[in-house]
Structure 1
Amino acid sequence: MESMKHTIAELSEHFNSKMAEFQKQLQTSSASATSPASTIATQFSTFRSFVLTALEGLQKQLDVLSRKQDEFEMRSRKKILLIHGVQESKNEKMSQVVTKIISENLDIPLKEDDISHCHRLEHSRSDKPRAVLVKFKDFSLRNKIWYSKSGLKNSGITLSEFLTKERHSTFVAARQRLGVSKCWTKDCGGCGG
């Protein structure tokens, strides 16, 4: 999507610069000729209007596609939670670690069979342990855990929803502007507040 946006922006810039160049030439030549220049000017104006309308239409379509893709991606993430602050150890079996954390801290009986898959995210660039991605088999269990996350207070462990890049950026910007206590996500949506 980003490359499409970039291409449309480049096309728009290219068309605008070429049309400005053509318009300058047209104005220069219109001083010396009368009738052909006015015909060309009319054709140019029509063409310019068409190109700008087409670019605007493409931009709107791209915006719709981008929103739909984001919604689709969020739907595919609806059973996923991220767990932050889980210390790393060699030969760890993440599903066992997650089951223990949830069962002990949130008093929610969780079995390894309740987890579809579970793994750490990419390598961290800091000293913090990498986040753990957990996909639950059942959406209602995922929600029960999500809405019980306050039970993790003072444990050093936090839960977050697995947001798309765009939604995560929006959430982070809102937190910086409004403060941590006034921003949250709900059901993989945007910011609340």
Structure 2
Amino acid sequence: MISNDGYLAAATQCPSPNTNQRPVDHSVSLLVIHNISLPPGQFGTGCVQSFFTNQLDPAQHPYFQTIAELKVSAHLFIERDGTVTQFVPFGERAWHAGASSFHGVANCNDYSIGIELEGCDNIAYTDAQYEALAEVSREILRAYPEITLERIVGHNDIAPGRKTDPGEAFDWPRFRASLNTR
């Protein structure tokens, strides 16, 4: 269930400072699926949470020195075991899409919800992740009727040539089929 103030009841709350208000002339109408792992290819480190809350220690891993100054967030993060963490309420703008466009409308952060899956483009996602993603996506579809099945996309779809996630390992047919079972 999603509260009136945009919080998912089933999620652990971990507020990110990397958020701001959506433009008043934009309603939530797009769902974007991403992947992330920190360090790259490593799971269960807690580093994604640190990154989205600006607490990532650049000395912890050489890769972190290249991203430590970035200010990014997502609405939700789904770990390999299906644990869901919410960083930004759905009514606010998370900073997940970067330079992006969908159907000719730029700045997807203005009108989208971003969900990060703990993973990599070429490593299969877990059953627990697909189950959690389907559950939260069905809640989002109920709460935001402008998001249709056609308006659920990958980061690669809104930033082609710049982004590749959720990658070839993401099973779109499986995910889309799970949304039809309400």
Q: TM-score, normalised by structure 1?
A: 0.25
Larger radius of gyration: 1
Of Structure 1 and Structure 2, the greater strand share is in: 2
